[in-house]
Amino acid sequence: MNATEIALLVVGTSIKLLLWPSYHSTDFEVHRNWLALTSSLPISQWYFENRSEWTLDYPPFFAWFEWTMSVVARVWDPRIVDINNLGYASPSCVMFQRLTVLVSELVLFMALRRVVRIKGNTVQGRISMALVFLSPGFVFVDHVHFQYNGVLLGMLVYSISLIMEGRDLLAGTVFATLLCFKHIFMYIAPAYFVYLLRHYCAVYRNGRLNMKASVGRVVKLGSAVALVFGVSFGPFVAMGQMSQVVGRLFPFKRGLCHAFWAPNFWALYVFTDRILSITGASQLASSTRGRVGDTRFAILPNVTPLFTFVATLVAMAPALLVLMRRNLRPEHFVQSLVLCALASFMFGWHVHEKAIILIAVPLGVLTMSPRVLRMHAILTTAGFYSLLPLLFGVQELVPKMCVLLIWTLCSLWLMRAKVSAWACLTRVERVYISGFGLLFVATELIPWVFGRLEFLPLALVSVYSALGITFAWINLAYDFITAP
């Protein structure tokens, strides 16, 4: 590693270490419980264990990832992996779990380093790498709230780097492995499927499709993917437990929206319904229960999981159009990834606000034109701001404000496409981004002004952020489809 990369690691690690005393969410106990159950129970009981409400609902490779960490945890502090020790969060436990996030995030760092080198080790490439690695998404969600997005997104970036190198078969295999770590990545699977089908499987000789060579590549790719899924899910198939595993992975009993609405189309839909009901258009109360249960509306039609699935597929059409080009290149693949992730974020069922990271990372990997740079500025500002309510404690107020403000200013002034991102923005777009300052004052510093309307501060954050993300999605779709 060169001096710049070492400095980036030192700065990033220092910032994240300073945040260790911050609060941690229920996700901390989720992962501690998974350490305990994978360590204490045979594999046949992993997806049946329900002593804790935080049951295992990730695919098997992630369970094995937890098991690997539990081996070290047993030496570090045996009480961490005591399956009956629910809610355990001693200082040693917090330190251990924070360390696992910090160390596993090196996967992301090394993958970003590969991308920078593949793209010519340019100054802008290094700036983009630094901004992705130090993004508020990872700082807030992984190192405060507590998750392992760094290692997972690192695997995605590594797969993207293999696509950039033309190593399509290995890229597809890595992505299949990623799906067996966390199934949320299935939302971007259509981009992989179409790109690999056209760019890897379809072999042309003298302008004609060579069926024999093409079928051979289909078999080769299919065998690699089948091997990965066989290793991951095979033991559960052999034990006759696949229905139980699938039931854990896809809990459709949850409502349309999370307790805090993700800043997407459904946030605008729910907010519209709330406003209509409050203005007296109906005597019914609008119900938008978050973690579990159905979401019911007072005025607007209710939404079913099937409807959101169809809407998401339709919204992915621009992503697939990008991959229909005759001169298909890896850059088009990354564009398609961004659009697939945006479509699922905008219209998916029970989307979490944290899923914005799945959009921001591949978008940060792209080579920026002035138009794309504009949309990157709007989308990341809105998306990362929408994460602030996750850090709701008074002690987190100043750190989250400083992290987001410094990162946003660096992004607006250091990322360039001949001129800075700020210079690329129109007057209206600058006003929109500046509006987050007023929103912060209203919702974070003086929330008491809303009186009895307790839902309004969170709703304003979701709706205002959703407007920017929707605008960015429409513009990115148009730009990626029409660009050469």
Q: CA-CA-CA-CA torsion for 148, 154, 160, 166, nearest 10 degrees?
A: -140
Closest CA to 330 of 110, 157, 99, 91: 157
Q: Does 183 have pLDDT greater than 50?
A: yes
Higher pLDDT, 153 or 367: 153
Residues above pLDDT 70, as percent of the chain: 96
What does the pLDDT read at residue 298? 81
Give Cβ neighbours of residue 408 (< 8 Å, ≥ 6 apart).
380, 381, 384, 433
Distance, CA of 383 to CA of 135 (rounded, Å):
11
pLDDT in the model for residue 383: 97
Rounded Cα–Cα distance for residues 231 and 84 (Å)? 30
Residue 240 identity (one-letter amino acid)? G
Q: Which pLDDT score, from 0 to 100, does residue 283 have?
A: 47
Q: What is the mean pLDDT of residues 167-172?
A: 97
Structure tokens given for 323? 């991959």
Q: How many CA atoms lie within 13 A of 147 on its CB side?
A: 17
Asked if residue 271 lies in contact with residue 280, where contact means CB atoms within 8 angstroms, the answer is no
pLDDT band of 313, cuts 50, 70, 90: very high
Cβ neighbours of residue 294 under 8 Å, at least 6 residues apart? 255, 256, 302
SS3 17: helix
Which residues lie closer than 8 Å to 69 by C-beta, 6 or more apart? 35, 100
Q: Give the integer Cα–Cα distance in Å for 450 and 442.
A: 9
Read off the pLDDT band of 350 (50, 70, 90).
confident
Residues of the chain with pLDDT > 90, as a percent, come to 75
CA dihedral 317, 185, 416, 129 (to 10 degrees): -160
Instruction: Give bridge partners of residue 170 from the DSSP assignment.
Output: none
The model's confidence at residue 4, banded by pLDDT at 50, 70 and 90, is confident
The 10s digit of each residue's pLDDT in 279-304 is 765 544 444 444 444 567 888 898 88
Check residue 206 and give its pLDDT.
85
Position 166 pLDDT exceeds 90: yes
List the single range of 41-50, 59-68, 230-239, 412-421 with lowest mean pLDDT: 412-421
Per residue in 271-280, pLDDT tens? 898 888 877 6
pLDDT average, residue stretch 45-54: 93
- Mean pLDDT (the chain) is 91
